Amino acid sequence: MKVIQSPGSRTRILCGLLVGAGIGAALSVPFVSVGIGVGVGAGIGLLVALVLGRGDDTGERQAASAASPGTIPVGGDAAETAGWVWNELVPKSGQSDTVQGELLRAIEKLRWEAQNNGNVNWDVGFERLLGFLEAELTGDAALAESDRVAASDDVGRLREHADPYLEDDLYDRLTDVLVAYCRAHPEPIARAADPELDR
């Protein structure tokens, strides 16, 4: 459940790859080799895909979040619920204005920092994200005791930032607890941005 793309994002990624393939075909003559041209085109297409991948729907998602997007759909499986939260409540940049969106944003920020950077950028901002996760996921009596204990254990492990946790299972467990939180609180809960949080 790492990165969840909206249908519009997938369309823009596909368009970017197709543009790249076209550029690759055009470049195949100057490079005399179709393989090199297509390879260059694929690289350009990937770049276009990354630029377009999540760009145009940002304003729509931020506006939906600010305008209270409605009840979180919790009837499906955990991946569907987490996908909806990601697409509707997590902005492209900055903090979410809902508790549920910020919980998922925090989990994914922590995952990214550990798996892609080895926690080399660890600072008080990541500590604040952990504090937020801990407060919301271990202190909510609406969650099952087993979920609160699992979240507490996982947050405790993430606090050992000098030894980054690189496997997905811990982050996926936290996401499962987030989904349980959404099932207990299906209405998005408004939150003010943390002025001390720079992550």
In tens, the pLDDT along 42-96 reads 444 433 333 334 444 444 444 344 445 689 999 999 999 999 999 999 999 999 9
pLDDT in the model for residue 6: 43
* pTM as predicted: 0.68
What percent of the chain shows pLDDT beyond 70? 65
What pLDDT, on a 0 to 100 scale, did the predictor assign at position 1?
A: 53
Contact 69, 61 (CB under 8 A): no
Average pLDDT, the chain: 78
- The pLDDT of 167-189, averaged and rounded, is 98
Asked if 178 and 136 count as a contact pair (C-beta separation under 8 A), the reply is no
Weakest-pLDDT range from 21-25, 84-88, 104-108: 21-25
The whole-angstrom separation of Cα 190 and Cα 193 is 10
- What is residue 2's predicted lDDT score, i.e. its pLDDT? 54
Mean pLDDT confidence for 164-188: 98
Task: Report yes or no: 155 and 199 within 8 Å, Cβ to Cβ.
Answer: no
pLDDT for position 16? 44
CA gap 171, 135 in Å, rounded: 17
| Predicted pLDDT at 70 | 86
Q: How confident is the model at residue 196 (pLDDT cuts 50, 70, 90)?
A: very high
Give the N- to C-terminal CA distance of the chain in Å, as an integer.
21
Higher model confidence: residue 134 or residue 1? 134
155 falls in which pLDDT band (50, 70, 90)?
very high
What is the mean pLDDT of the segment spanning 97-111?
Answer: 98
Give the DSSP letter of residue 98: B
Residue 83's pLDDT is 97
d(CA 61, CA 18): 26
CA–CA separation, 85 and 149 (whole Å)? 23
Report pLDDT for 68.
52
